Structure 1
Amino acid sequence: MSLLAVLGLAMAGLGAGLLGSTAGLASLASYPALLAFGLPPVLANVTNTTAIMTFTIGSLASTRPELGGTWSRLWPRIGVFLVFGATGAWLLVHSPPGSFESVVPWLIAGASILLMARDRVQGWAISSGRKLHSAGPAFWIVLAAIAVYGGYFGAAAGVVLLAWLMLTTDDGLAYSAAEKNVLLGASNFAATMGFVLISHIHWGAAACVAVGGIIGSYLGPKLVRRTPERPLRIVIGILGLGLAVKLYLDSLG
Structure 2
Amino acid sequence: MSVFEVVAILLAGVAAGTINTVVGSGTLITFPTLLAFGVPPVTANVSNTVGLVPGSVSGAIGYRRELSGQRSRVLRLSVASLLGGAAGAVLLLVLPDDAFAAIVPALIVLGLVLVVFQPRISGWVARRHDATGGMPYHGTWWVWPGVAVTGVYGGYFGAAQGVLLMAVLGTGVDEDLQRLNAVKNVLAAIVNAVAGVIFIVVADVDWWIVLLIGVGSVIGGQIGATVGRRLPSTVLRVVIVLVGLVALTVFLLS
TM over 0.5, shorter chain? yes
Query: What's 1:66 paired with?
Result: 66
Alignment of 1:53-132 (within 5 A): 53-128=53-128, 129-130=131-132
In 2, the alpha carbon distance for the partners of 1:223 and 1:200 equals 35
In 2, the alpha carbon distance for the partners of 1:169 and 1:57 equals 23
Alignment of 1:120-159 (within 5 A): 120-128=120-128, 129-130=131-132, 134-159=138-163
Residue 237 (str. 1) matches residue 246 (str. 2) = no
3-state SS in 1 of match to 2:205: coil
Query: What's 1:40 paired with?
Result: 40
Q: Decide whether aligned partners of structure 1 residues 132 and 37 sit closer, same or farther in structure 2, where only a CA change above 3 A counts.
A: farther
In 2, the alpha carbon distance for the partners of 1:15 and 1:96 equals 30
Query: What's 1:4 paired with?
Result: 4
Query: What's 2:49 paired with?
Result: 49
Query: What's 1:15 paired with?
Result: 15
Identify the match of residue 179 of structure 1 among 180, 183, 196: 183
Aligned residues: 250
Q: Is the 8 A contact 1:10 1:211 kept in 2?
A: yes
Q: 1:126: how far off?
A: 2.3
One-letter amino acid of the counterpart of residue 240, structure 1: G
One-letter amino acid of the counterpart of residue 36, structure 2: A
Q: 1:242: how far off?
A: 4.0
Q: Deviations over 1:192-249 (max 9, x none)?
A: 1111222111111111011111101111121233331312212321331343244134
- Kindly, what percent of the aligned residue pairs are identical? 35
One-letter amino acid of the counterpart of residue 248, structure 2: A
In 2, the alpha carbon distance for the partners of 1:169 and 1:30 equals 31
Q: Decide whether aligned partners of structure 1 residues 94 and 163 sit closer, same or farther in structure 2, where only a CA change above 3 A counts.
A: same
In 1, the alpha carbon distance for the partners of 2:4 and 2:246 equals 24
Residue 168 (str. 1) matches residue 168 (str. 2) = no
3-state SS in 2 of match to 1:167: helix
Q: Is the 8 A contact 1:132 1:139 kept in 2?
A: no
Q: Deviations over 1:121-168 (max 9, x none)?
A: 111222234598645442222111001111000111110111111111
How does the TM-score come out when normalised to structure 2?
Answer: 0.92
Q: Which moved more, 1:30-39 or 1:149-158?
A: 30-39
One-letter amino acid of the counterpart of residue 88, structure 1: G
Q: Is the 8 A contact 2:56 2:189 kept in 1?
A: yes
Q: 1:10: how far off?
A: 0.5
Structure 1, unmatched stretches of 5+, are none
One-letter amino acid of the counterpart of residue 12, structure 1: A
3-state SS in 2 of match to 1:98: helix
Q: Is the 8 A contact 1:132 1:167 kept in 2?
A: no
Q: Decide whether aligned partners of structure 1 residues 142 and 61 sit closer, same or farther in structure 2, where only a CA change above 3 A counts.
A: closer
Residue 213 (str. 1) matches residue 217 (str. 2) = yes
How does the TM-score come out when normalised to structure 1?
Answer: 0.92
Q: Is the 8 A contact 1:51 1:206 kept in 2?
A: yes
Q: Is the 8 A contact 1:115 1:234 kept in 2?
A: no
In 1, the alpha carbon distance for the partners of 2:240 and 2:56 equals 22
